[in-house]
Structure 1
């Protein structure tokens, strides 16, 4: 997979659709020569598709959606965010989503993509919203689904993303980080990540982890973790929101509606998948009915609504 270096870390990406065949996509070491990476259809025809969790672009369910969007005439940029997939692990910024927004902005610069549509689910929705807030001139449209919120969903993020690593470093320094499950997976995908983890300063890592942890403490005036509601005034592009399921505690329907109130002119639609799709996927995985990560299997069902939105 091609990659570019952003803020001292390698970011892996792939482009589907016209841009993939329009010329030399940037590869490691020569990103600046990518030229018209956006393809003959123009940069506005590029859709950046971002999954949730700490999952990379190879997570099951993402590629079928990307291929469906590409088949609709758009170029699709898939990328492994820092701390996801085969990209390098990185730790800086106000929150992890702030770091990823900065990374994506630099990646787009490297690829010569001046503007794009951002589309993301779950953690990818949060990263896409924050990127639009921080770099509004870069984004021409926004598509969001499975937006995490509420007390359970937000605290659960802290338990998954921050506490295991923070507890490990407090117990035994950064030497213990490679033993944490999520970092073992990052090392398997990219062996260079082991040394990157070992080279971290323990005190600085604890300080950063506490800052990232604080973002996940539910606060008045922050519908999205670590992002003040007033900042949503910066989002002034057409926005499509696919609301969460009726009883989805991780991606509450209420959160999607609150975000729609914060983004003026946004459109909210019912999910194209069953109301209990998320809960059903978790149960099936826990019971052993499926052996792969099935959480995003239904996402391809959103392709018709996304293409309709993109086509205007």
Structure 2
């Protein structure tokens, strides 16, 4: 896969399609561009006349691990701006779900000149969803480094997977300073403590005034505790002129996917498998702008 170096780290990417406006499609969590469910959506958008950029964010897939920035999403936004500059793409459409929605919003806030349109779904918020992110993505590594130093990261499944996909990551992890890593992790963790005036983690609500591009928001499911309906409604109020639509997948798709995954059942709804159902609405929105 092609890659460019941004802020001292290698960023892996690929571009699907040959013509049309470029859509940067970003998944959630620390999942790679190859997470099941993402590529079918990308291919549907390509079939609709667009090009699609898929990328492994820092700490995801085959890209280099990196640790800097106010929050992990701030780091990803800075990395994406550098990637687009290296590729000389010009302004692009940003589309993302879950953590990818937060990364896309923050990129638009910090680098508005890079974005023409914004498409968001599965926006994380609320006490449960926000605390859950900190507990899952920050606390385990923080606790490990406090107890074992950075060498302890090499024992963790998450970072062993990053090394398996990119062997250079082993040395990059070994080169970390334990005290600096703890300091950064506490800062990243603090972003996931719910605060008044922060509808999405680590971002003050007044930052939403910087989003001045046409924006489509697919609201969260009625009982989705990770991506609450309330949060998507609040974001729609914060982004002036945004378009809010009902989800094109079942209201309980995320809950059913989590239950199937936890119980080891054959999954009718894998985490991102339903995302392809959003393609018609995304294409319609982009066609009308």
Q: TM-score, normalised by structure 2?
A: 0.98
Cross-structure match for 2:225: 249
Does the CA contact (< 8 Å) of 1:60 and 1:292 recur in 2? no
1:101-250 → structure 2 map (5 Å cutoff): 101-250=77-226
Cross-structure match for 1:274: 250
What are the Cα deviations for residues 82-118 of structure 1, in whole angstroms up to 9, with x where unaligned? 0001100000000000000000000000101110000
Paired with 1:302 and 1:212, the residues of 2 have a C-alpha distance of 31
What are the Cα deviations for residues 65-98 of structure 1, in whole angstroms up to 9, with x where unaligned? 0000001010000000000011000000000000
Cross-structure match for 1:305: 281
Cross-structure match for 1:55: 31
Runs of 5+ consecutive residues of structure 2 not aligned to the other structure: none
> Does 1:88 pair with 2:79?
no
SS of structure 2 residue aligned to 1:259:
helix
Paired with 1:292 and 1:197, the residues of 2 have a C-alpha distance of 37
| Residue 290 of structure 1, CA deviation | 3.0
Paired with 1:260 and 1:291, the residues of 2 have a C-alpha distance of 31
Does the CA contact (< 8 Å) of 1:285 and 1:293 recur in 2? no
Cross-structure match for 1:17: 17
Runs of 5+ consecutive residues of structure 1 not aligned to the other structure: 19-38
- What root-mean-square deviation, in Å, do the aligned CA atoms of Structure 1 and Structure 2 show? 1.2
| Residue 291 of structure 1, CA deviation | 7.2
Paired with 2:246 and 2:70, the residues of 1 have a C-alpha distance of 33
| Residue 292 of structure 1, CA deviation | 11
What are the Cα deviations for residues 159-192 of structure 1, in whole angstroms up to 9, with x where unaligned? 0110000000000100001112211111111111
Paired with 1:133 and 1:291, the residues of 2 have a C-alpha distance of 36
| Residue 284 of structure 1, CA deviation | 1.2
SS of structure 2 residue aligned to 1:251:
coil
| Residue 293 of structure 1, CA deviation | 9.4
Cross-structure match for 1:35: none
Does the CA contact (< 8 Å) of 1:233 and 1:262 recur in 2? yes
Cross-structure match for 1:4: 4
Q: TM-score, normalised by structure 1?
A: 0.91
